[in-house]
Amino acid sequence: MKKSILLSAVALCFSLSFSSCKNNEEKLKDAQKDMIQAQKKLIKAESESMREYDNFRMKISKKITDNELAIADLKIKAIDGTMSQKQKFNAQVEKLEIKNMELKQTLDAYGTYNADTWDAFKKDIDARTAALEKDFEAINRK
């Protein structure tokens, strides 16, 4: 009887230790699965962010190109008026050209892509683009 109780106790201890190892192995596998899922989500998020950046960059590049064409049109535009009016017009066109060039340089210089700088960069570019559009509207009204 003592032997069977002792054997039962040993068997119980062995099975408990074996099942706890299995639980640890299962926990490890679950943790590995969770880590793989987290890596997949991170890769997907990075991919979506890069796609958003690329779309934004293409949209702004198109605006810059459109601005360059509009500036070229303004440069060849003959305006009626005095010499001082023509000089003022040419100075305004030159300012547009400089602002457009600065916008292009800022867009080209953005190399550190991360979430912290992305929002600030996007707001800055959007504000510059909007200001440039207003300047174009103002000069075209004349």
Question: pLDDT tens digits for 32-83?
Answer: 787 788 777 777 777 777 788 889 999 999 999 999 999 998 888 867 778 8
> What is the pTM (predicted TM-score) of this model?
0.69
Residue 97 lies in a domain: yes
Using CA atoms, how far apart are residues 39 and 23, in angstroms rounded to an integer? Answer: 24
Residue 6 lies in a domain: no
**pLDDT value for 22:** 58
Domain count, the chain: 1
Give yes or no for residue 134 having a pLDDT over 60.
yes
- pLDDT tens digit sequence for 71-130: 998 888 867 778 888 888 889 999 999 999 999 999 988 876 677 788 889 999 999 999
Residue 119 lies in a domain: yes
Residue 86 lies in a domain: yes
**pLDDT value for 21:** 56
Residue 58 lies in a domain: yes
Mean pLDDT throughout 129-142?
89
Residue 12 lies in a domain: no
43 exposure class (CB count in 10 Å sphere: 0-12, 13-18, 19+): exposed
Residue 90 lies in a domain: yes
Higher-confidence position of 18 and 38 = 38
Give yes or no for residue 10 having a pLDDT over 50.
no
Give 32's contacts (C-beta < 8 A, 6+ positions apart): none
Using CA atoms, how far apart are residues 24 and 28, in angstroms rounded to an integer? Answer: 6
Residue 5 lies in a domain: no
For residue 114, give its domain range: 17-140
